[in-house]
């Protein structure tokens, strides 16, 4: 237990809040009791964890003997937890803990099919996953074919585009199912889990409208708070807003400030990409063509790479003919500029004017050329 006499760090403060929600106590009459029987589980400790601001936080634990364990406590509302023996969430059991008697039965080699009984919210999640997983399985098959074709992009462009369209169609069907579920189950905590997982596919208006459908308790869940924060980020990067400024080093360690770049051009494309992102690499030649055609008219590009590997980035810059300023902090998806702009998919881009005002978002293929032709 944390001492109230010291200053909390961000992680400790979040842990304290969560501990106020999940209090382990054998004397609670209306709390949860999780009885587990998982064959192959090692003797030792098993931990109940939740996602915090900076990663997983252990909120409850108990000893495991011969695959058997029991956890007891209380939650204020159904809480999405991860049950596992490691320090991270890999190989952990995903479950909703609520104040009830919950049983877990299965084998360590097949944790995806562990039977969890006693949590109504867990039942909702299982029912949702049955259909959603079918979509995901089909998408993996298409993506496997897509990856094979990408080994020879030049000779497979038409097939790549066709399968890409098939993937987009299937993703649309899956997204419709997900959104319909949320709309039809506004009082289910599974809905905030779903909406959070797909929030980066939605524009501000759609996300706000669907989030507003959720009941107050569901909106106050951890996932609901994440959605609320994303809405704030999206509002700050909408068309008409001034693009948030930032400074980041280029591949040689030289700091470059975004506003110093866009002040030099009539219009600047802030381009979020990565060397490992196949759709980005397919789009790069299009951006190069736009830059070559419109640069003398006042068009510039400011690249932000979500790479972690310096060598891969250097090779991609040369191979794709990228000559404009390109910055990175080599943190991958934790790139500070990407987080500032709420970037969750690649490629993503934002077009700004000389004052940094956002005039368009996510211009790809011919849409980029059409917009530049209109403006320049």
Residue spans per domain, the chain: 10-111, 121-236, 247-375
Q: How much of the chain exceeds pLDDT 70, in percent?
A: 91
Pick the range with the lowest mean pLDDT from 29-33, 78-82, 171-175, 354-358. Answer: 29-33
Query: What integer is the mean pLDDT of 246-252?
Result: 95
> Mean pLDDT across the stretch 228-240?
91
| Cut 0.75: pTM above it | no
Question: What is the pLDDT confidence band of residue 29, given thresholds at 50, 70 and 90?
Answer: low
In terms of Cα–Cα distance, which of 98, 93, 174, 91 is closest to 132?
A: 174
Query: Identical fold at 10-111 and 247-375?
Result: no
Rounded CA gap, 246 and 100, in Å? Answer: 48
Tens of pLDDT, residue by residue over 153-198, are 888 888 888 988 999 999 999 999 999 999 999 999 999 999 999 9
Structural contact between residues 145 and 160, judged by C-beta atoms closer than 8 angstroms: no
Identify whether the C-beta of residue 223 lies closer than 8 Å to the C-beta of residue 195: yes
* pLDDT computed for residue 344 by the predictor: 84
pLDDT score recorded for residue 7: 36
Q: What is the pLDDT of residue 248?
A: 97
247-375 CATH pick, 3.40.50.2000, 2.30.33.40, 3.40.30.10, 3.50.50.60: 3.40.30.10
Reduced to 3 states (helix: H, G, I; strand: E, B; else coil), residue 128 is helix
41 Cβ partners below 8 Å, 6+ apart?
64, 67, 69, 85, 108
Q: Judging by beta carbons within 10 Å of its beta carbon (0-12, 13-18, 19+), is residue 330 exposed, middle or buried? A: middle
CATH class, range 10-111: mainly beta
Residue 255 has pLDDT above 50, yes or no: yes
pLDDT tens figures, 71-114: 999 999 999 999 998 776 777 899 999 999 999 999 988 887 89
């Amino acid at each position: 237990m944390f001492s109230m006499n010291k200053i909390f760090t961000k992680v400790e403060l979040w842990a304290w809040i969560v501990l106020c929600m999940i209090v382990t106590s054998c004397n609670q009459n209306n709390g949860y009791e999780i009885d587990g029987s998982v064959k192959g589980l090692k003797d030792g400790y098993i931990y109940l964890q939740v996602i915090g601001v900076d990663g997983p936080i252990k909120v409850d634990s108990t000893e495991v003997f011969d695959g058997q364990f029991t956890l007891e406590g209380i939650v204020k509302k159904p809480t999405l937890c991860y049950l596992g023996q490691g320090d991270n969430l890999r190989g952990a059991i995903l479950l909703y803990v609520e104040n009830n008697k919950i049983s877990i039965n299965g084998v360590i080699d097949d944790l995806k099919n562990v039977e969890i009984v006693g949590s109504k919210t867990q039942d909702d999640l299982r029912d949702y996953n049955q259909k959603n997983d079918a979509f995901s399985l089909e998408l993996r098959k298409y993506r496997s074919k897509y990856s094979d074709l990408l080994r020879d992009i030049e000779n497979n462009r038409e097939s790549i585009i066709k399968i890409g369209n098939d993937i987009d169609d299937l993703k649309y069907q899956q997204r419709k199912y997900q959104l319909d579920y949320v709309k039809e189950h506004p009082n289910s905590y599974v809905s905030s889990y779903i909406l959070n997982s797909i929030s980066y596919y939605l524009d501000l208006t759609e996300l706000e409208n669907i989030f507003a459908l959720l009941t107050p308790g569901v909106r106050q869940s951890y996932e609901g708070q994440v959605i609320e924060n994303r809405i704030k980020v999206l509002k700050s990067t909408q068309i008409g807003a001034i693009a948030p400024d930032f400074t980041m080093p280029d591949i040689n360690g030289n700091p470059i400030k975004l506003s110093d770049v866009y002040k030099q051009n009539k219009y600047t494309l802030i381009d979020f990409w990565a060397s490992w992102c196949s759709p980005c690499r397919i789009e790069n030649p299009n951006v190069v063509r736009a830059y070559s055609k419109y640069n003398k008219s006042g068009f510039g590009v400011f690249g932000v790479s979500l790479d972690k590997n310096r060598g891969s980035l250097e090779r991609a810059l040369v191979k794709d003919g990228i000559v404009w300023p390109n910055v990175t902090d080599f943190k991958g998806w934790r790139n500070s500029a990407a987080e500032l702009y709420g970037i969750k998919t690649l490629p993503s881009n934002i077009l700004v004017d000389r004052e940094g005002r956002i005039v368009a978002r996510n211009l790809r293929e011919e849409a980029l050329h059409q917009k530049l032709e209109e403006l320049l």
